[in-house]
């Protein structure tokens, strides 16, 4: 999954996005943090101001919409060695964790987009739907 995430240039990737029914996602590291695996993650605290920021998703390519999410989050999970850990993060890490946990619960950004965004992206959504139906 880490390799797939990097190939797609994603910030994260959830198991359901690649056809796996696991409660697991991965996130891309940076200069300060390594790539990370989250197994059975639980968001234990969502706090702070609700921030409106643009999000994209590998499951719905080409769609970028503003999504409102809490500014900070705490997450508990297990790593690939089954070691439990807890992380707290603000802004981008918190947003990525919330986005990927949404995938584990069957929620996409199209489910969270504002009605005006749904109208603005109607054509692209129909094209994606038709493409998925074709296989």
Q: What is the pLDDT of residues 49-104, one digit of tens each?
A: 999 999 999 999 889 999 999 999 999 999 999 999 999 999 999 999 999 999 99
- Looking up tokens 């706090």 gives 47
Q: How confident is the model at residue 134 (pLDDT cuts 50, 70, 90)?
A: confident
Answer yes or no: is pLDDT of 135 > 80. no
134 is catalytic: no
Catalytic residue among 3, 49, 55, 100: 100
Q: What is the pTM of this model?
A: 0.91
CATH number for the domain that contains residue 54: 3.90.45.10
DSSP code of 107?
A: -
Q: How confident is the model at residue 130 (pLDDT cuts 50, 70, 90)?
A: confident
| DSSP H helical ranges for the chain | 2-7, 92-104, 109-112, 115-120, 122-134
Q: How many domains does the chain have?
A: 1
- For 64, the domain range is 2-134
> In a 3-state reduction of DSSP, which class is residue 63?
coil
Answer yes or no: is pLDDT of 25 > 80. yes
Q: What is the pLDDT of residue 75?
A: 98
């Amino acid at each position: 999954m880490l390799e797939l995430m990097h190939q797609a240039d994603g910030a994260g990737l959830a198991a359901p996005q690649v056809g796996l029914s696991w409660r697991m996602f991965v996130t891309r590291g940076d200069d300060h943090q390594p790539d990370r695996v989250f197994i059975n993650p639980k968001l234990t605290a969502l706090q702070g101001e609700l921030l409106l920021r643009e999000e994209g998703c590998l499951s719905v390519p080409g769609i970028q919409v503003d999504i409102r999410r809490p500014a900070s989050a705490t997450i508990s999970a297990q790593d690939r060695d089954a070691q439990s850990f807890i992380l707290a993060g603000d802004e981008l890490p918190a947003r990525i964790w919330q986005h990927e946990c949404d995938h584990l619960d069957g929620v996409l950004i199209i489910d969270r987009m504002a009605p005006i965004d749904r109208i603005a992206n109607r054509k692209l959504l129909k094209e994606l739907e038709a493409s998925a139906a074709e296989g």
